[in-house]
Amino acid sequence: MGQIEDFRTFLRIVDQGSISKAADKMRIAKSAVSRRLSMLEARYDTILIDRTPGIWDLTEIGQELYQRAMRVVTEMDEIESDFVNTAANISGPLSVSVPREFGISFLNDALLAFKANYPEIQLTIDFDDRSVDLNRENYDFALRITSEMKQGANAVQIGTAGHHLYASPEYLISHTTPQCLKDLHNHNLLYFGHARRTVWQFDDNKGKSQKIAFQPYLNSNSGLFLLNATIQGLGISRLPSFIASKSVESGDLVKVLSNFTVPEWGIYLVHPEKRLLNRRMRLFSEMMAQACLQ
């Protein structure tokens, strides 16, 4: 039996939490599974699972081997899936972390369309704004929106996200429409984040950077909440276009000081280190890139 199958057996033992249960799943004798585990431990001259009476626990080396064997076996399975029968339906797991509001407000239709196009793919979408650890948490992709991607990241830029100032027509009727950044001091400014005082930075139409420091009228870590607050006339907010665009089209919001812009942020798909993109990942990347170009 080759090393890949030895790794596969070890993974099954760990996942089932016992040699006998692993043997049942694999439909082979318990003694055969136990012998393969012993041979694996002999090969590496170490104990991988502490099996003293009353104890069943991965050792530190066993935990490391489990993680690395998982990557090797998964990669081998993906090679088989990609090349053994390329005419077959594309199947297998695909786990993606997507920023909550971007995913729900903008990418929702594209995600559903991807699942409809490839129904055999076991798609898992986590709407989560935290920066997930791709290597430890077994995600295939994380979608990130940032002004600056870290060097060395395994990232592909698939789009850009613009930010603008917005207000409701009703708010601007009851307040003087600002003509310059200094005029914003006379307005209720709604801020994404938590701050007693903060700064917005813009580029004017000549590319010159300008700033305004202010005390927010309202703070929130939800862009959708700020969108609704702006529509209801609570003040002026700086929102990403993917959240505000539909409200602008419907007339619920208008741009304010449109000659001032925020440098565009990149939309990136990031994948784990030392991970080659399989067919599922490539197809997902292509479809999300198409959605972000619209």
Please compute the mean of the pLDDT values over residues 89-109 and round it to a whole number.
86
The CA–CA distances, whole Å, from 148 to 45, 157, 186 equal: 45, 11, 32
Residue 275 and residue 236 share a domain: no
Q: What is the CB neighbour count within 10 angstroms for residue 10? A: 24
Residue 132 and residue 109 share a domain: yes
Residue 205 and residue 120 share a domain: no
Please compute the mean of the pLDDT values over residues 273-286 and round it to a whole number.
80
Q: Tokens 């076991």 sit at which residue?
A: 122
87 pLDDT band, cuts 50/70/90, is: very low
Residue 259 and residue 167 share a domain: yes
Q: In sequence order, what are the beta bridge partners of 194?
A: none
Of 7-21, 130-144, 193-207, 248-262, the one with minimum mean pLDDT is 130-144
Q: Which of 48, 71, 136 minimizes the C-alpha distance to 97?
A: 136
237 pLDDT band, cuts 50/70/90, is: very high
Residue 276 and residue 149 share a domain: yes
What string of DSSP letters covers 128-188?
Answer: --S---HHHHT-SEEEEEESSPPTT--EEEEEEEEEEEEE-HHHHHHSPPPSSGGGGGGS-
Residue 244 and residue 168 share a domain: yes
- pLDDT of 187 higher than 90: yes
Residue 254 and residue 129 share a domain: no
Q: Which of 127, 78, 93 minimizes the C-alpha distance to 107?
A: 127
Residue 206 and residue 148 share a domain: no
- pLDDT of 253 higher than 70: yes
Domain boundary among 83, 109, 141: 83
Cα–Cα distance, 117 to 279 (Å, whole number): 14
Output the pTM of the full model: 0.61
CATH number reported for the structural domain that contains residue 15 in this entry? 1.10.10.10
- pLDDT of 82 higher than 70: no
Q: Which of 126, 140, 131, 105 minimizes the C-alpha distance to 241?
A: 105
- Percent of the chain exceeding pLDDT 70 equals 93
Give the pLDDT of residue 88: 53
- pLDDT of 198 higher than 80: yes
Residue-wise pLDDT for 124-180, tens only, equals 998 887 877 777 777 888 898 887 777 656 888 888 888 899 999 999 999 989 999
**Displacement of CA 60 from its chain's centroid (Å):** 29
Residue 150 and residue 270 share a domain: yes
Of 5-9, 30-34, 84-88, 243-247, the one with minimum mean pLDDT is 84-88
Residue 219 and residue 127 share a domain: no
Structure tokens at 144: 């990130």
User: Across the chain, what does the average pLDDT equal?
Assistant: 86
Residue 170 and residue 30 share a domain: no
- Percent of the chain exceeding pLDDT 90 equals 28
Residue-wise pLDDT for 13-54, tens only, equals 998 888 888 888 888 888 888 888 888 889 889 999 988 887
Please give the residue range of the domain that contains residue 72. 3-83
Residue 273 and residue 208 share a domain: no
CATH number reported for the structural domain that contains residue 138 in this entry? 3.40.190.10
User: What is the count of structural domains for the chain?
Assistant: 3
| DSSP-based three-state secondary structure for 63 | helix
Domain boundary among 60, 83, 106: 83
- pLDDT of 77 higher than 60: yes
